């Protein structure tokens, strides 16, 4: 899936997805986790993130204090230096990247700090977490970024 095609698909389904997620947010179906987790597994078993990296190219993860400690230790620099060099504080008072694509994304789409990457990167796009009904706003937003989430939403629509 090329990213230009992804954008076109997202636009085509924007209205339909907006109606679908509005309904889900209202109904908060109890079966959501049970339905979405196997779909997530299946979609990601057939997704090659190294051919995409759109999340790392277009959005910043949040960096927790623990992330900052761990990554700066790995880079052998002081946490304050790490913050000065790479991070800024956003409107929600969270640490995020100063700019995207991520500084740690290599040309071949590998993450140069993969072993110590932020928790938010490890968990992205969060469709295998519990209590999915609490994450519907985020999942709907991530359709714009992540071809796998787009696919997950399409499959979910067939079930709900
Ligand atoms: S945007 Fe989705 S499919 Fe693309 S690299 Fe990120 S998680 Fe993988
Ligand atoms: S830290 Fe690694 S996984 Fe996270 S956004 Fe940057 S390149 Fe991607």
> Please, which residues have CB within 8 angstroms of residue 116's CB and are 6 or more apart in sequence?
70, 71, 73, 74
**Model confidence, pTM:** 0.94
Point out the ligand 2 atom lying closest to the alpha carbon of residue 114: 2
pLDDT in tens, 106-123: 999 999 999 999 999 999
pLDDT in tens, 38-72: 999 999 999 999 999 999 999 999 999 999 999 99
Query: Does any ligand 2 atom lie closer than 6 A to the CB of residue 3?
Result: no
- CA nearest neighbour of 60 among 137, 117, 130: 117
Residue bearing the CA closest to ligand 2, atom 4: 121
> Please, which residues have CB within 8 angstroms of residue 54's CB and are 6 or more apart in sequence?
3, 6, 145, 146, 147
Token representation of residue 43: 């979609």
Which ligand ends up closest to the CA of 67?
2
Per-residue pLDDT at 2 = 80
**Cα(149)–Cα(142) distance, rounded to whole angstroms?**
6
- In eight-state DSSP terms, residue 106 is -
Pocket probe for ligand 1: among 108, 121, 148, the residue whose CB has the most ligand atoms within 8 Å is 148
Residue bearing the CA closest to ligand 1, atom 8: 49
Distance from chain centroid for Cα 32? 19
Q: Give the start-to-end residue ranges of the domains of the chain.
A: 3-56+125-159, 62-123
Angle at CA of residue 115, ends 109 and 119, nearest 5°:
90
Question: Which uninterrupted H or E stretch holds 89?
Answer: strand 87-89
For the ranges 1-5, 25-29, 34-38, 76-80, which has the lowest average pLDDT? 1-5
Residue bearing the CA closest to ligand 2, atom 2: 111
Contact 152, 40 (CB under 8 A): yes
Phi, psi angles (nearest 5°) of residue 139: -65, -40
Point out the ligand 1 atom lying closest to the alpha carbon of residue 125: 7
């Amino acid at each position: 899936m090329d990213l230009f095609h992804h954008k076109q698909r997202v636009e085509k389904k924007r209205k339909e997805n907006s109606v679908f997620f509005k309904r889900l947010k209202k109904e908060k179906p109890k079966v959501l986790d049970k339905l979405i987790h196997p779909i997530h597994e299946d979609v990601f078993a057939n997704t090659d993130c190294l051919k995409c990296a759109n999340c790392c190219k277009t959005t910043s993860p949040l960096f927790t204090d623990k992330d900052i400690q761990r990554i700066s230790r790995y880079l052998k620099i002081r946490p304050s230096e790490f913050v000065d060099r790479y991070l800024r504080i956003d409107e929600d008072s969270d640490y995020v990247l100063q700019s995207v694509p991520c500084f740690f994304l290599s040309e071949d789409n590998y993450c140069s700090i993969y072993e110590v990457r932020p928790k938010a990167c490890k968990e992205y796009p969060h469709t295998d977490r519990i209590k999915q009904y609490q994450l519907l706003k985020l999942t709907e937003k991530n359709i714009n970024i992540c071809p796998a989430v787009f696919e997950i939403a399409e499959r979910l629509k067939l079930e709900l």
